[in-house]
Amino acid sequence: MNPTIELLKKHRSIRKFTTEPISSELLDELFLAAQSAATSSFLQGTTIVRVKSPETRALLAESAGNQGYVNTAAEFLVMCADLKRAGNYCIENGFAFEGQYTEQFIIATVDVALLAQNLVIAAESEGLGICYIGGIRNDPQRVTELLDLPQGVYPVFGLCLGYPDQNPEIKPRLPLSVIIKDETYNERGNKEEVREYDKKIEEYYKQRMGGGHGISWSKQVSKLLGEKSRPHMKDYLIKQGFKFE
Amino acid sequence: MNPTIELLKKHRSIRKFTTEPISSELLDELFLAAQSAATSSFLQGTTIVRVKSPETRALLAESAGNQGYVNTAAEFLVMCADLKRAGNYCIENGFAFEGQYTEQFIIATVDVALLAQNLVIAAESEGLGICYIGGIRNDPQRVTELLDLPQGVYPVFGLCLGYPDQNPEIKPRLPLSVIIKDETYNERGNKEEVREYDKKIEEYYKQRMGGGHGISWSKQVSKLLGEKSRPHMKDYLIKQGFKFE
């Protein structure tokens, strides 16, 4: 396969970085590559807040569940879904700003994710490592205040970028037969395939943790979906102007 | 810059494809590259329904606003956010399935977008062209019935893949200074920058359409946000089990 596909297949999150900075020339290249991703209805609904201040970083790291690499990564970017920028022009152009429909929430959220993934791949193609920080949704109100996010803007996730100071293993994914289905959704074969996969993941964790218990994929995701999952998000988003109409 | 970054920067949607098929070996490579994208909390919340049936394709193309390339692309993939697969294991592992929080909706939607963007880049790296089809959200209930999507699964977007039979120009993006902000969100300079950018986009459309009126970016997005935007999405998603709690 070609080098780009090889690169994609080698992805793993990096949580330990060297102190080497990323040059501003390279960073601009990464941003341009990021921006080239598709954008729904040409909205371009992403704003990136680049946080350099160690004080703000420390508060964000704490909010994100004490993820220290938010402090130590060469760059920490807060990737925001932004309906405000476009919304500003509604009134100017004789439209009422109809409010934030669920659809518009989806459009802006997907826009951020596509752009971020381009940024990630551009970064990895230059030897950088990355880690997505969903933990900034632990306390989105605090992030909003720290970064002055106005109505119509919310932080979808953070992104750590830097030169890797570790070389973790690639985490195995579900078999293709479980996630790709022909013609219609069906769960044929999933149960058996996931059972085998669970063993593989237990083994992966045992090796990574140096012995001890491994936790299977199905147990991990059971916990994720079985527990109250950031139940503050809805009220936060409504307050922030995403009305889910 | 390196070839991967060059590739990213050359993206444009392709809406006309040759009849050349994509080999199943290549398709599997693309899927493996896609799957290697980061996944929040290891959920792996994506299911891809690969639609070959010309009858189903025709109905989906119609639903998507008569986008003919949904019929003619070598592959048409419906990219679904899937909480069901993981949810199945909640009860088995002694958890109650707490229902779909807004947070879980975000996690699954972002998962699909990251995976899809990897798929897109892998495809483009092999000379394929792609087009995201947000239009499948025009009538998500119909898509749900056609593809047998169960509760906890929704179609985020479609994806056309095939060998390009056109070579459209790259669409200029907003200036970096408008989308990248230091330390805090602010709109300094945006107004002037967007005014200049609007002229560029008007010119782009004039050239693409062979004369006539161009429409600026700010006018386009005003319309998008100023009009009722797929107002059925909320009720559809609630019915589909995404409760936005």
A101 CB neighbours in chain B (<8 A) are 228-231, 233-234
Residues B135 and B190 in one domain: no
Q: Judge whether B234 lies within some domain.
A: no
Residue A240: phi, psi to the nearest 5?
-85, 0
Q: Judge whether B224 lies within some domain.
A: no
Classify burial at B41, counting beta carbons within 10 Å of its beta carbon; exposed 0-12, middle 13-18, buried 19 or more.
middle
Mean pLDDT for B70-94 is 95
Q: Where are the alpha helices (DSSP H) in chain A?
A: 3-9, 24-35, 54-63, 69-72, 84-92, 102-125, 140-146, 176-179, 190-208, 217-226, 233-239
The answer to whether A168 and A14 are in contact (CB under 8 A) is yes
CA B92 remoteness from chain centre: 33
The Cβ of residue B79 has, within 10 Å, a number of other Cβ atoms equal to 24
Q: Is A41 left (phi over 0), alpha (psi -120 to 50) or beta?
A: left
Spatial distance between the Cα atoms of A227 and B135, rounded to a whole number of angstroms? 33
Residues B101 and B203 in one domain: no
ipTM of the complex: 0.98
Q: Do B222 and A95 touch (CB under 8 A)?
A: yes
Mean pLDDT score across all residues of chain B: 95
The answer to whether A80 and A46 are in contact (CB under 8 A) is yes
- Tokens 């139940």 belong to which residue? A231
Residues B151 and B204 in one domain: no
The answer to whether B245 and A234 are in contact (CB under 8 A) is yes
For helices B84-92 and A217-226, angle between their N-to-C axes, nearest 10 degrees: 90
Look at residue B182 and give its three-state secondary structure: strand
Residues A182 and A72 in one domain: no
Q: Do B110 and A113 touch (CB under 8 A)?
A: yes
Angle at B219 between CA B215 and CA B228, to 5 degrees: 125
Q: Do B110 and A157 touch (CB under 8 A)?
A: yes
Distances (CA, A) of B70 to A31, B47, B79, B130, B169: 31, 19, 14, 11, 21
Amino acid letter, A168: P
Q: Judge whether A215 lies within some domain.
A: no
Burial B8-32 (b: 16+ CB within 10 A, else e): bbebbebbbbeeeebeeebbebbbb
- Tokens 């900034």 belong to which residue? A136
Return the pLDDT at A211: 64
Residues B131 and B196 in one domain: no
**pLDDT tens readout for residues B91-114:** 888 888 876 799 999 999 999 999
The tokens for B12 are 């444009």
Return the pLDDT at A208: 82
Q: Residue A225 is nearest to which of B98, B157, B180, comparing CB atoms?
A: B98
Spatial distance between the Cα atoms of A206 and B42, rounded to a whole number of angstroms? 16
CB pairs under 8 A between A and B: 354
The answer to whether A244 and A100 are in contact (CB under 8 A) is yes
Per-residue confidence of chain A (245 residues) as pLDDT tens digits? 899 999 999 999 999 999 999 999 999 999 999 999 999 999 999 999 999 999 999 999 999 999 999 999 999 999 999 999 999 999 888 888 877 799 999 999 999 999 999 999 999 999 999 999 999 999 999 999 999 999 999 999 999 999 999 999 999 999 999 999 999 999 999 999 999 999 999 999 988 877 666 899 999 999 889 888 999 999 999 999 998 88
Q: Judge whether B232 lies within some domain.
A: no
A41 CB neighbours in chain B (<8 A) are 134, 220-221, 224
- Tokens 């060998």 belong to which residue? B163
| A93 min Cα distance to partner chain B (Å) | 7
Residues A204 and A116 in one domain: no
| B127 min Cα distance to partner chain A (Å) | 11
Q: Judge whether B33 lies within some domain.
A: yes
**Adjacent-strand bridge partners of B47:** B80
* Best CA proximity match to B112, nearest among A172, A114, A39, A9: A114
Q: Is B170's pLDDT higher than 70? A: yes
Spatial distance between the Cα atoms of B38 and B111, rounded to a whole number of angstroms? 8
| DSSP for A119-182, written as a single string | HHHHHHHTT-EEEEEGGGGSSHHHHHHHTT--TTEEEEEEEEEE-BS--PPPPPPPPHHHHEEE
Assess A22–B contact: CB distance below 8 Å, yes or no. Answer: no
Nearest CA in chain B to A153: B185
**Number of continuous H segments (helices) and E segments (strands) in chain B:** 11, 5
Q: Judge whether A134 lies within some domain.
A: yes
Q: Is B211's pLDDT higher than 70? A: no
Spatial distance between the Cα atoms of A120 and A12, rounded to a whole number of angstroms? 11
Residues B195 and B117 in one domain: no
Look at residue A17 and give its three-state secondary structure: strand
Return the pLDDT at B121: 98
The tokens for A234 are 């809805």
Q: Is B234's pLDDT higher than 80? A: yes
Mean pLDDT for B62-84 is 97
Q: Is B14's pLDDT higher than 90? A: yes
Look at residue B76 and give its three-state secondary structure: strand
Window B:52-71, CB contacts with A under 8 Å = 52-53, 56
Q: What is the residue range of A199's domain?
A: 176-208
Q: How confident is the model at residue B237 (pLDDT cuts 50, 70, 90)?
A: very high
Model's pTM, two decimal places? Answer: 0.98
Spatial distance between the Cα atoms of B117 and B128, rounded to a whole number of angstroms? 14
Q: Do B218 and A117 touch (CB under 8 A)?
A: no
Window B:113-142, CB contacts with A under 8 Å = 113-114, 116-118, 120-122, 125-126, 132, 134, 137
Spatial distance between the Cα atoms of A144 and A152, rounded to a whole number of angstroms? 11
Q: Judge whether B137 lies within some domain.
A: yes
Q: Residue B229 is nearest to which of A93, A103, A181, comparing CB atoms?
A: A103
Return the pLDDT at B209: 73
Number of domains in chain A: 2
Q: Do B185 and A97 touch (CB under 8 A)?
A: no
Spatial distance between the Cα atoms of B216 and B175, rounded to a whole number of angstroms? 14
* Best CA proximity match to B237, nearest among B146, B65, B111, B106: B106
Q: Judge whether B48 lies within some domain.
A: yes
- CATH number at B137 reads 3.40.109.10
Residues B16 and B134 in one domain: yes
Residues B121 and B87 in one domain: yes
Residues A38 and A147 in one domain: yes
Spatial distance between the Cα atoms of B158 and B79, rounded to a whole number of angstroms? 6
Residues A153 and A203 in one domain: no
The Cβ of residue A236 has, within 10 Å, a number of other Cβ atoms equal to 19
Q: Is B148's pLDDT higher than 70? A: yes
Q: Is B87's pLDDT higher than 90? A: yes
Residues B199 and B137 in one domain: no
A92 CB neighbours in chain B (<8 A) are 218, 222
Assess B233–A contact: CB distance below 8 Å, yes or no. Answer: yes
